[in-house]
Structure 1
């Protein structure tokens, strides 16, 4: 659902950019509470994994494909604030390196694909966990449902933005129906991928799933024939377990998906592209493409990138070109993401270690 340049007019794109920047700023502060020394590198890995899986378009209807958005997966694995940052890193890398999603539409894409999916998914996820049994299976079920709902919610958000700032005069009711309809189908794929990934991580390292914290059922004791909650007992802190194995396995998986499996992804247009073509949303884009090079208003600023369109320039073998581009994208995303999250984590540590001011100290005394 990467929105290209030219779908949304400049004022609304600017407003969406301001909103996205605000969401990122809030998330930078919130992520300090979610990240620690173990999870900061894993958050970068989550961003790289989402990048890789987004390359795997799957068929959902005749002539239409879909791909993972990833907001639900990121929020459940590393937390909602960190999830917004993960999505922002992925979308930035895709736009700058691969010309996927317009740069003037970056704010729209972060808002629609990042902020909306994370807020809807994580809110629903936490709500479901309050009514479901407190066990790991409930986390997987809640992940499936949250991911499923987040995708059509994102489609509806795009339609709302288009209703305000769309550059082509189309029937918004028809656009909404088409967008939500096809993205419900895409949401099923999103839900399956999200639930499978969350379930796999819970099976081996439940301590690394942010959304699974506090879901263990309380210990029960039988007293006079009745089951009662066992009293809380002080326990020694468990030694920190290394995350190197999980990190390495996740990175290899992402590289395999982006470098090899992506070659077999569906070539059909994704949900937004299909609806745009059917409903005439892309009329101005198509007219612009007919102009000579240099006169095109909506030509992507990264169109001449050596990795544009997920291929390596001057590599003629299609399989090799796409595989190299995918592997480079995974490497770049994990490097940038890990760097960002380490900085966020270090700022939290610096704030915690900062000595109290005299005024604060005297007030405390």
Structure 2
């Protein structure tokens, strides 16, 4: 659902940019409460994983494909504020390096694919956890439902942007029906990928899943014939191997590299939902060439590498590497800022009245 330049007029694109900038600013502040020394590097990995999986277009209907948006997955794994930042980093890297998603439409894309997907998915996710039995299976079910609804939610937001600033004269009803219809199907794929990934991480390290916090069942001890809660172990009592995220990080990075560098070659070549609707309804009549169309990585291929498999694989690997570096840098900076704020607060001298 990467909106190109020219679909939405300049005034609405500027307004969307202001909305997106505000959302990112709020998320930078909120992410300080979500990130710690373990989750900061994992957030960069989540961004890289989303980048990789977005290269894997899957067929959803005749001549149409879809791909992961990632807002639901990021919000559940690392938190909603951090999730907005994860998807925003991915969109920025895609727009600058790969000419995917217009640069003037970056605000529209962040609003659609980062903000709306996170808000819808996390609201549904948290709402379901309140009524479902506490447990890991409920987290996976709630993740499926949140991801499923987040994609048509983003389609509705695009329709709203088009209603306010579309550059072509196409019936709003036709745009709404076509966008929501195809993106409900894409949402099923989003839900399967999100639930499978969240379930896999929960099975290995539930302590690293933001949406699963608070689900740990306390150990029971029998004292004088009665079951009582055992005292929670202190951080020092937990083995270093159990606290470390290195294995998870390495596994996730290798997985992302394999998906982007090898599996992506077998992705569907059909246009995605927005591209298909735009071509069928004429929304793309005033589409503009991407400002980064001359990039050596444009269209997810390395310039001057003639072998399609090698070209696409190299581009995917470069994209994953660039995204994990930029994302980790952003999240470590946010984490350090939080640490500095906490230090300043704890060392501030009390005011004498």
* TM > 0.5: yes
- 294, 298, 321: which one aligns with 1:304: 294
CA shift for structure 1 position 301: 1.0
The CA distance in 1 between the partners of 2:210 and 2:239, in whole Å, is: 18
| SS across alignment from 1:59 | strand
The CA distance in 2 between the partners of 1:69 and 1:340, in whole Å, is: 20
CA shift for structure 1 position 239: 4.9
1:51-130 to 2 correspondences below 5 Å: 51-130=51-130
| SS across alignment from 2:271 | coil
The CA distance in 2 between the partners of 1:44 and 1:301, in whole Å, is: 26
The CA RMSD over aligned residues, in Å, is 2.0
| TM-score normalised according to structure 1 size | 0.91
- 229, 234, 246: which one aligns with 2:248: 246
CA contact (8 A) 2:218 2:229 kept: no
| SS across alignment from 1:321 | helix
The CA distance in 1 between the partners of 2:257 and 2:172, in whole Å, is: 40
Structure 1 stretches of 5 or more lacking a match?
286-297
The CA distance in 1 between the partners of 2:336 and 2:318, in whole Å, is: 27
Match of 1:164 in 2: 164
Q: Within the alignment, does 1:317 sit opposite 2:319 as a pair?
A: no
Deviations 1:78-134 (A, max 9, x none): 000000000000000000000000000000000000000000001110111011111
1:250-289 to 2 correspondences below 5 Å: 250-285=252-287
Q: Within the alignment, does 1:354 sit opposite 2:344 as a pair?
A: yes
The CA distance in 2 between the partners of 1:150 and 1:335, in whole Å, is: 27
Q: Within the alignment, does 1:334 sit opposite 2:324 as a pair?
A: yes
The CA distance in 2 between the partners of 1:117 and 1:150, in whole Å, is: 5
Matched residue count: 348
CA contact (8 A) 1:134 1:217 kept: no
Structure 2 stretches of 5 or more lacking a match?
none
| TM-score normalised according to structure 2 size | 0.94
CA shift for structure 1 position 357: 8.3
Match of 1:154 in 2: 154
| SS across alignment from 2:68 | coil
Match of 2:215 in 1: 215
| SS across alignment from 1:282 | helix
The CA distance in 2 between the partners of 1:73 and 1:299, in whole Å, is: 31
| SS across alignment from 2:350 | helix
Q: Within the alignment, does 1:192 sit opposite 2:192 as a pair?
A: yes
The CA distance in 2 between the partners of 1:278 and 1:43, in whole Å, is: 38
CA contact (8 A) 1:48 1:334 kept: yes
CA contact (8 A) 1:135 1:217 kept: no
The CA distance in 2 between the partners of 1:235 and 1:263, in whole Å, is: 47
The CA distance in 2 between the partners of 1:338 and 1:193, in whole Å, is: 23
